Chains A and B, each alone.
Chain A
């Protein structure tokens, strides 16, 4: 079945530690996105990539980094510079047609120890 796989489902970060969240899709989608979901704040865009080897900052990119070396993969690193990393992280993808919907992964819950 085609879809988006995020791992791990739960992740704990120690102070000063960088952690990487995985996102893989087998939908052959060009565009991929990372959103952060906090209660009462909806989904806020962290980074997005419209094509391999290219990505752009979203609204809340500070303290995060990404790479897009392969079409199917878009990992997100939460760095030690992100002072409030506890949140639910959602990865999404789409074909880039403006009428197309986003396909979402099941998310990763990141907590700070």
Chain B
């Protein structure tokens, strides 16, 4: 069965620190990849997505992610975090094959201290 692994469950950073959250998936076929964010008290929302083309994708609020096919990875990065980035981050993979059935990772809770 396909799975999505997020390596960091809890991350605590100070403002201006750099961030990298790991995401690996096990599906061997063509994939579409997503990062979603859930700010405290808000709906889950899309941060960025990859479906083809340039493997380095940029999203909202200065986030970016790099798709490395050989490593089955889609890590999320931000050079300098802010207090307002405190949230839960979820990596998701679309299983493809004509259906749209996103599978989510366990999530990473990020706390940024001012």
Which residues of B67-114 have CB atoms within 8 Å of chain A's CB atoms? 90, 92, 94, 96, 99-107
Q: Which one of A35, A43, A45 has the highest number of Cβ atoms from chain B below 10 Å of its Cβ? A: A43
Name A104's contact: one of B43, B51, B96 (CB within 8 Å): B43
A16 at the B interface (CB under 8 A)? no
**Do B32 and A43 touch across chains, with their CB atoms under 8 A apart?**
no
**Do A101 and B104 touch across chains, with their CB atoms under 8 A apart?**
no
**Do A105 and B104 touch across chains, with their CB atoms under 8 A apart?**
no
The verdict on A41 contacting B44 (CB below 8 Å), with A50-B99, A98-B51 known, is: no
Nearest CB of chain B from residue A46's CB, rounded to whole Å: 12
A48 at the B interface (CB under 8 A)? yes
A102 at the B interface (CB under 8 A)? yes
**Do A106 and B105 touch across chains, with their CB atoms under 8 A apart?**
no
Q: Interface residue count for A (Cβ, 8 Å)?
A: 25
Residues in A with CB closer than 8 Å to B51 are 98-99
Residues in A with CB closer than 8 Å to B36 are 102
**Closest chain A residue, CB of each to CB of B42:** A106
Name A43's contact: one of B45, B100, B101, B104 (CB within 8 Å): B104
Q: How far is the CA of A102 from the CA of B49 in the complex (A)?
A: 11
B12 at the A interface (CB under 8 A)? no
A108 at the B interface (CB under 8 A)? no
Q: How far is the CA of A100 from the CA of B96 in the complex (A)?
A: 12
Name A106's contact: one of B32, B43, B94 (CB within 8 Å): B43
A25 at the B interface (CB under 8 A)? no
Which residues of B9-50 have CB atoms within 8 Å of chain A's CB atoms? 9, 32, 34, 36, 43-46, 49
**Do A101 and B106 touch across chains, with their CB atoms under 8 A apart?**
no
Name B100's contact: one of A42, A98, A105, A106 (CB within 8 Å): A98
The verdict on A42 contacting B32 (CB below 8 Å), with A96-B100, A98-B96, A104-B44 known, is: no
The verdict on A31 contacting B104 (CB below 8 Å), with A104-B43, A105-B43 known, is: no
A residues near B (Cβ < 8 Å) are 31, 33, 35, 40-45, 48, 50, 58, 90, 92, 94, 96-102, 104-106
B residues near A (Cβ < 8 Å) are 6, 9, 32, 34, 36, 43-46, 49, 51, 90, 92, 94, 96, 99-107
